Amino acid sequence: MKKPDLSVEIAGIKMRNPVMTASGTFGYGEEFSPYLDLDTLGAIVTKGLSLAPRAGNPTPRIVETPGGMLNAIGLQNVGIDAFIEKKIPFLRNLNTPVIVNFFGNSIDEYAELAARLDLVPEVAAMEINISCPNVKHGGIAFGVDPKAAFSVVKAVREMTIKPIIVKLSPNVTDIVEMAQACAEADADALSLINTLTGMAIDLDKRKPVLANVTGGLSGPALKPLALRMVWQVSRAVKLPIIGIGGITNAIDALEFMLAGATAVQIGTANFINPGIAQKITEDMELYLVKNGITDVKELVGALEI
Amino acid sequence: MRHFKSMVVLNEEVSPGYARIRLTAPRVIMRAKPGQFVMIRVSEGIDPLLRRPFGIYDLGSFMPEYPDAPLQDYLEVLYKVVGKGTRILSSLHHGDYLDILAPLGTGFTQGNPEEEKILVGGGVGLAPLYFLAKQLVKKSKVKVFIGGRRKEDILSVTEFERLGIDTYVATDDGTLGAMGLVTEVMESNLANGDAKRSIFACGPLPMLKSVAGISERWGVSCQVSLEANMACGVGACLGCVTKGRNHSEQTPDYRCVCKDGPVFDSREIMWE
């Protein structure tokens, strides 16, 4: 049988397969090059970037929970200048699209970052983080208010001709409303979901485990919630969707595609197995071969109800 | 660093609540440096989800039991049974398989062989120090100071003695060695000598902080191996960071324990 076609396209970004790495779980790509071939991935999404470098939160920053983990890293990152100077040269040599996740403290900052990234040829697309729940001014206000989200996306849209992906937070009453606001502001694609705000408590100390008190829950525990949200949004909005949430294998990934995702991002699973993203691409191909599916795109939104 | 499947060769209790596990490893493990660590995935399932970090205790080779087999290299780690992950680890037997990333992080810098090498450890913090001692004794005079709450917490005394190393023990309750803190025993020992020395420490944070203070007072260089909660072990999650000495809100200086460490010069770290 002919090799199945795994390629997908999101907002003009051509990817050899639907498997991307999620922001904040894959560093700047380089950290993982000893463990997999970065040129087998669909795309790489780099760690959330801000204008100035950010220190992040005090420790403890992470704690494991059943089937998942909480993190409150606090958006620690090198800032855009160091990113362009020190991280781009490595990424330039890859044959895989690089998508830069970024966030600002104000609409102006989002716009300024977008304007600067627009000039970097190695950046295939931008992913706007409007949803990281850890930092008071890290974007949470934008991620839970459709009007604020609309304003941010609109401001970014005016600054760039590159594709814009908006990463949605699950910490809202109605994620469809958020998705619609982003679509109206002319976003090109949506990625969902970001982490769900949670907390862990140490009974004997009577204290929260994380220094930040709350953190973002990720990992397999999140998958059912993420699937439901991808499915709801895909039925309501025409934009292509990137499914994220607890994906640890090719089966999980293909379930997200059935629910309506054109591509997926692998997050926490990268921490457990740094070579997992490539393994998922290989297993996905095997699944298609075994089931006589010639094109992975046939599965997008093919859920039968 | 390598990602490999490893077979459990032996897994035995070394003291109540503590065990040593021997795991097959690819040949390249022999290049690992004392102070480097491994990330072990104790189960294929999702609970526990994350790997667990362990310092390398020993490396070696053994002759497999079937005829004409080549030597098989192995690594060993020491662990204390403290939670779900280490409980699962303690239930494994010869022939079980584990998924391993190794070796990770930086190792100790062994420095000038003329110096006397002072090793200070507590609990499973002894693990990297034993691996280090095996290399140091070839060229240097080595002393080891081992501390713990009770005698059950004192590990590897026989192993150190077998290397011909002067071994000093202190327990909080006096059930083995001197009663009191191992750092006090070490400091009074420092006071009695005037050789050029350097310190290598691994153990609980309060002990390391105390050792760092002692090394400052006596003007002796000191390397510490830190422990931290880790998710990835490869410098990506930024979950395991520790503050560098000049850290401040305005000029943040966070170091990844997994990648920039786990071994640091004690003067590089902000001790809180």
Q: Is B241 on the interface with A (CB under 8 A)?
A: yes
Whether B147 and B58 share a structural domain: no
The third-level CATH classification (topology) of the domain covering A8-57+72-198+217-299 is TIM Barrel (3.20.20)
pLDDT, tens digit (0-9, with 9 covering 90-100), for B72-93: 999 999 999 999 999 999 999 9
The string of pLDDT tens digits covering residues A204-216 is: 999 999 999 999 9
Give the C-alpha separation, B32 to B29, whole Å. Answer: 5
B210-256 tens-digit pLDDT: 999 999 999 999 999 999 999 999 999 999 999 999 888 777 789 99
Which of B8, B17, B10 is CA-nearest to residue B155?
Answer: B17
Angstrom distance (rounded) from CA A21 to CA A113: 21
Binding-face residues of B in 51-110 toward A, CB within 8 A: 51, 99, 101
User: Which residues of chain A are modeled with pLDDT < 50?
Assistant: 132-136, 138-139
Q: What is the CATH number of the domain that holds B199?
A: 3.40.50.80
Please identify, among B44, B73, B104, the residue that sits at the C-terminal boundary of a domain.
B104
In-domain check, residue B263: no
Please identify which residue in the block is written with the tokens 């005016």: A158
Task: Give the per-residue pLDDT at A105.
Answer: 85
Do residues B99 and B120 both lie within one domain? no
Could you tell me if B163 and B206 lie in one domain? yes
B89 and B136 housed in the same domain: no
User: ipTM of the predicted structure?
Assistant: 0.89
Nearest Cα of chain B lies from the Cα of A50 at a distance, in angstroms, of 15
Q: Would you call B7 an interface residue with chain A, using a CB distance cutoff of 8 Å?
A: no
For the CA atoms of B221, B156, B84, A249, the dihedral, rounded to the nearest 10 degrees, stands at 70
- Together in a domain, B169 and B219: yes
The reply to whether B82 and B121 lie within a common domain is no
User: Is residue B58 located within the same domain as residue B78?
Assistant: yes
Short-list A140, A135, A153, CA closest to A77: A135
Residue in chain A lying closest to B44 (CA): A272
Note whether B212 and B120 are same-domain residues.
yes
- Domain of B53, CATH number, reads 2.40.30.10
pLDDT score of A139: 47
Sign for the CA dihedral angle at A241, A242, A245, A247 comes to positive
pLDDT of residue A135: 46
Residues of B in contact with A268 (CB under 8 A): 49, 231
Q: What's the pLDDT at A140?
A: 56
Give me B105's structure tokens: 């992080």
Residues B94 and B190 in one domain: no
* B127/B53 same-domain check: no
Q: Show the domain range for B93.
A: 2-104
Token pair recorded at residue A102 = 């970024």
Domain count, chain B: 2
* pLDDT the model gives residue B190: 86
Q: How far apart are CA A300 and CA A17, in angstroms?
A: 13
* Neighbour count for residue A251 (Cβ, 10 Å): 12
Number of CB atoms found within 10 A of residue B163's CB: 15
pLDDT at B247: 87
Per the CB < 8 Å rule, is A248 touching B236?
no
Give the whole-number percent of chain B exceeding pLDDT 70. Answer: 100
Torsion sign across C-alpha atoms B41, B44, B47, B50: positive
Decide which of B74, B104, B134 is a domain's last residue: B104
**Which residues make beta-bridge pairs with B207?**
none
In the predicted model, what is the mean pLDDT of residues B106-125?
93
Q: Which residues of A are catalytic?
A: 132
Give residue B272's pLDDT band: very low, low, confident or very high (50, 70, 90): confident
Contact A87, A77 (CB under 8 A): no
Phi/psi for A284 (5° steps) reads -65, -45
Write down the H helix ranges in chain A.
Answer: 79-82, 88-92, 107-118, 140-144, 146-159, 175-184, 223-236, 250-258, 269-272, 276-290
Average pLDDT rounded to a whole number, residues B19-37: 95
Q: What are A139's two structure tokens?
A: 């974007």
Residues B51 and B71 in one domain: yes
Q: Which among B104, B132, B159 is the end of a domain?
A: B104
Strands A164-167 and A123-129, by their bridges, are parallel
CA distance A107 to A96: 30
Contact A43, A288 (CB under 8 A): no
